[in-house]
């Protein structure tokens, strides 16, 4: 691996240029960052590198790097994102300039060597028009999505990793009226919103002494003091779901969040599990969710690599007080 390299702007086939982070010591991955087809990079210690160009991860036989070099690469990337990775903090997630998201895991947690995962955003800002053109949904569904945003409906975007949840959420919020103030809360800031009044809050890692960390739950509470018109949690993964549901049930319409779920039918169980982390029982979760969230947009990534809106759902409360969901087609 080269000892030092400053990343050049990434150029798409159309000639568009994206400014990438100025990071020394990452020359070995620069060709992949400059390739507009690449969406993900995975470095598995000294075992090799896998590249996803839209059709799934494939090994690159030309890649050569020792475990020491991969660890140095991980350290450089995480430091560029303003965080630290070491034996005391072996698992770290950061966002770099230009929207690249980096996740690193050091040995011995990563058994076969330092594991690096890079998610590289597509060239240009995603919009509902561009998503529709790529096959995510037809034009009449796009029109309904815009109406939903203008009606200030609360929405939850769900799907597995890499299905485009953050991309769709950013495209939706770009249709919010310009007079509205959008406050987004994320563990690692990824949302890109074409909107003039967007305030982005990002969780903070604790320092080497274990102090100073600020989590999502606190940031949601802080956002309520910022007079937001729309509160958005980039990904609900813990107790912050309680603060989000409370906010959406107390007059903060037009809010949104994302949630990992394999299928639409799995969403109620995922929310119950998160509610349990926040000290909420199943009945409390059902009442809060059914009144707070109007629509669930579930995304899937097909074998052809295309990310699609696979289903739309609405929550309801069963006779036994538990949360359930049913698939609907509101544009009909």
Domain residue extents for the chain? 27-119, 128-328
Q: How far is CA 12 from CA 9, 19, 262, 318, in A?
A: 10, 12, 32, 50
DSSP letter assigned to residue 204: B
Lookup: tokens for 123 = 């060239």
The confidence score (pLDDT) of residue 271 equals 94
Question: Is 5 exposed, middle or buried (CB count within 10 Å of its CB: 0-12, 13-18, 19+)?
Answer: middle
CA distance 155 to 65: 44
Lookup: tokens for 81 = 């994102």
The confidence score (pLDDT) of residue 20 equals 54
């240029």: which residue's tokens?
17
Residue 177, classed as helix, strand or coil, is: coil
Residue 189, classed as helix, strand or coil, is: coil
> Could you name the CATH architecture of 128-328?
3-Layer(aba) Sandwich (3.40)
> Could you name the CATH architecture of 27-119?
2-Layer Sandwich (3.30)
Q: Flag residues of the chain having pLDDT under 70.
A: 1-25, 122-125
CA distance 173 to 256: 9
In the beta sheet, which residues pair with residue 256? 155, 232
The confidence score (pLDDT) of residue 22 equals 58
CA distance 105 to 101: 14
List, for residues 283-296, the tens digit of each pLDDT value: 999 999 999 999 99
DSSP 75-122: HHHHHHTT---SSSS-EEEEE-TTS-EEEEE-TTTSTTS-EEEEE-PP
The confidence score (pLDDT) of residue 299 equals 96
Q: Could you tell me if 278 and 175 are in contact, meaning their C-beta atoms sit under 8 angstroms apart?
A: no
CA distance 26 to 264: 39
Lookup: tokens for 55 = 């059709």
List, for residues 186-211, the tens digit of each pLDDT value: 877 778 888 999 999 988 877 777 77
Lookup: tokens for 41 = 């990079």
Q: State the DSSP H helix or E strand holding residue 61, giving kind and residue range, or none if neither.
A: none
The number of helices, as runs of H, and strands, as runs of E, in the chain is 9, 16
Global confidence as pTM: 0.77
């Amino acid at each position: 691996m080269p000892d030092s390299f400053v990343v050049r702007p990434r150029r798409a086939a159309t000639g568009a240029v994206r400014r990438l982070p100025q990071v020394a010591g990452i020359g070995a991955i620069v060709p992949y960052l400059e390739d507009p087809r690449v969406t993900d990079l995975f470095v598995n210690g000294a075992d090799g590198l896998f590249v996803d160009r839209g059709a799934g991860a494939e090994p690159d036989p030309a890649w050569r790097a020792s475990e020491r070099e991969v660890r140095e690469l991980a350290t450089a990337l995480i430091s560029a994102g303003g965080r630290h990775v070491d034996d005391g903090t072996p698992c770290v997630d950061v966002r770099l300039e230009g929207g690249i998201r980096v996740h690193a895991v050091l040995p011995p947690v990563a058994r076969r060597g330092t594991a690096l995962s890079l998610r590289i955003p597509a060239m240009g800002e995603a919009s509902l028009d561009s998503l529709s053109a790529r096959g995510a949904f037809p034009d009449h569904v796009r029109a309904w999505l815009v109406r939903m945003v203008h009606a200030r409906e609360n929405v939850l975007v769900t799907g597995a990793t890499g299905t485009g949840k953050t991309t769709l959420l950013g495209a939706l919020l770009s249709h919010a009226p310009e007079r509205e103030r959008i406050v987004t809360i994320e563990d690692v800031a990824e949302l890109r919103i074409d909107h003039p009044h967007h305030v982005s809050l990002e969780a903070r890692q604790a320092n080497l002494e274990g102090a100073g960390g600020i989590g999502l739950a606190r940031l949601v509470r802080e956002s309520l003091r910022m007079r937001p018109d729309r509160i958005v949690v980039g990904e609900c993964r813990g107790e912050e779901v309680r603060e989000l549901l409370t906010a959406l049930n107390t007059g903060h319409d037009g809010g949104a969040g994302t949630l990992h779920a394999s299928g639409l039918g799995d969403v109620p169980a995922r929310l119950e599990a998160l509610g349990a982390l926040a000290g909420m029982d199943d009945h409390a979760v059902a009442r809060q969710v059914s009144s707070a969230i109007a629509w669930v947009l579930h995304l899937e990534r097909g074998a052809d690599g295309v990310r699609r809106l696979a289903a739309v759902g609405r929550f309801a409360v069963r006779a036994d007080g538990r949360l359930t969901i049913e698939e609907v087609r509101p544009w009909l």
